[in-house]
Amino acid sequence: MPYLLNCMPFSEKPDEIILRNERVRIRANQIILWVSLSLRRVNSANPTAIPFPVILDTGHNHSFSIHERHLTEWAGLRPDSLISLGTIGDRRQRVLLRAANIWVHPNERGSRERLAEKPPLLIETKKGIAVYPGSDFPRLPIMGLRALAENNLVLNVDGPRRQATLRTQIRWWPFT
Amino acid sequence: MEPKNTEVPASSLDEVPEGIRRARAAFIRDFPALIANRRTRGKYVCYHNEKCVAITKNYRAMIDEVNRQNIPEDAYLLFQVIPGEDRDQQLIAEEADIDLF
């Protein structure tokens, strides 16, 4: 059964990750995933892409949100290389929905920063990813509940062990 | 399959291209028939401008089909025919305010 998060630990204390010489602050009780992005008509993950951390936030009701600087510097994609699929209003600003595919790189079981030697898994984002202007909000890219629901994923949060597991349904066809 | 037609026209860098607006409007128009039809309910459909040009069982097969037909990047949308999808697309079409957080 494919795992996107395999006993991913989350800490009760704030912490940091180093990504391309940038110190990335992870707050207490935040679950992260490692992802890369591609153009929407690319059917496999870019083997040279460097995965970056995103927060798994079940209170976020879109699939994926990111600001322009992270899209450019972390995902390696210019915003204008992704076609605009629509706009929505959020926090009194217009937010573009841009076409992209999301690839989740599974972690090594029990490790937050080591990745498993397994192929990345595609997350469908037919409505696009929300790209916020500038470099302030969201503080880190966010994957929301819509991505989990629309991709038939199963999330388990083990509070006592402070671990999260995210997996596909058994025999779920997009990952065959 | 390698993508062919990935160029984003300069005129549509930040604006929603007309072909995509038309594809969304056509999907909303056709949605009652698509959801009622056992052949399309639950499936993935691709609209190129006003026309449904492909139906597949899964998303990756649809990407392959879009590449095979070499549909221009600024003129198609992919949808899954599931309950509520018309409402979501209508909100996007209206550029509605949606609290994401």
Which of A37, A41, A122, A137 is the mutation pick for testing B, counting most B CBs within 10 A? A41
A90 touches chain B (CB under 8 A): yes
Exposure string over A11-50, b if 16+ CB within 10 A, otherwise e? eeeeeebebeeeebebeeebbbbbbbbbbbbbbebbeebe
* Residue B56 structural domain: 16-93
- Residues 6 or more apart whose Cβ sits within 8 Å of residue A78: A71, A72
Confidence of residue B48 (pLDDT cuts 50, 70, 90): very high
Pick the closest to residue A132 from A85, A70, A176, A53 (CA basis). A70
Q: Which residues of A touch B57 (CB under 8 A)?
A: 173
Give how far A26 is from chain B: nearest CA, Å.
18
Q: Which residues of B touch A174 (CB under 8 A)?
A: 58-60
Confidence of residue B30 (pLDDT cuts 50, 70, 90): very high
Q: What is the mean pLDDT of residues B2-14?
A: 55
In a domain, B7, yes or no: no
ipTM of the complex: 0.86
In a domain, B34, yes or no: yes
Q: Report residue A163 as tokens.
A: 């671990």
CB A134 within 8 A of CB A67: yes
Exposure string over A67-98, b if 16+ CB within 10 A, otherwise e? bbebbeebbbbebebbbbbbbbbbeeeebbbb
Q: Report residue B55 as tokens.
A: 């139906």
CB pairs under 8 A between A and B: 99
- Domain ranges in chain A? 3-175
Q: Which residues of A touch B78 (CB under 8 A)?
A: 40, 126
Rounded (10°) CA dihedral B64, A36, A61, A161: 120
pLDDT in tens, B73-87: 999 999 999 999 999
Burial class (CB in 10 A: 0-12, 13-18, 19+), A100: buried
Give how far B79 is from chain A: nearest CA, Å.
6
Average pLDDT, chain B: 89
The pLDDT, as a whole number, for residue B12 is 45
A151 or A89, which is more confident? A151
**Pick from A83, A89, A91: which is nearest to B12 by CB?**
A83
CB A104 within 8 A of CB A123: yes
Q: Which residues of A touch B92 (CB under 8 A)?
A: 85-88, 97, 127
- The architecture of the domain spanning A3-175 is Beta Barrel (2.40)
**Nearest-angstrom CA–CA distance, A68 and A49:** 17
Domain count along chain B: 1
In a domain, B101, yes or no: no
Residues of B with CB under 8 A from a CB of A: 1, 3, 5-6, 8, 12-17, 20, 24, 57-60, 63-64, 66-67, 73-74, 77-80, 88, 91-93, 95-101
A115 touches chain B (CB under 8 A): no
In a domain, B99, yes or no: no
Q: How far is CA A94 from CA A68, A131, A162, B21, in A?
A: 13, 10, 36, 17
pLDDT in tens, A103-146: 999 999 999 999 999 999 999 999 999 999 999 999 999 999 99
Q: Which residues of A touch B64 (CB under 8 A)?
A: 43
Locus of tokens 């994401």 = B100
pLDDT in tens, A12-25: 999 999 998 899 99
Average pLDDT, chain A: 93
The pLDDT, as a whole number, for residue B31 is 98
Report whether pLDDT(B11) > 50: no
What one-character-per-residue DSSP string does chain B give? ------PPPGGGSSSPPHHHHHHHHHHHHHHHHHHH-TTTTTSEEEEETTEEEEEESSHHHHHHHHHHHT--GGGEEEEE--TTHHHHHHHHHTT-B----
The pLDDT, as a whole number, for residue A162 is 97
In a domain, B55, yes or no: yes
In a domain, B11, yes or no: no
Q: Tell me whether residues A61 and B98 touch, CB distance under 8 A.
A: yes
The pLDDT, as a whole number, for residue B35 is 98
Give how far A77 is from chain B: nearest CA, Å.
13
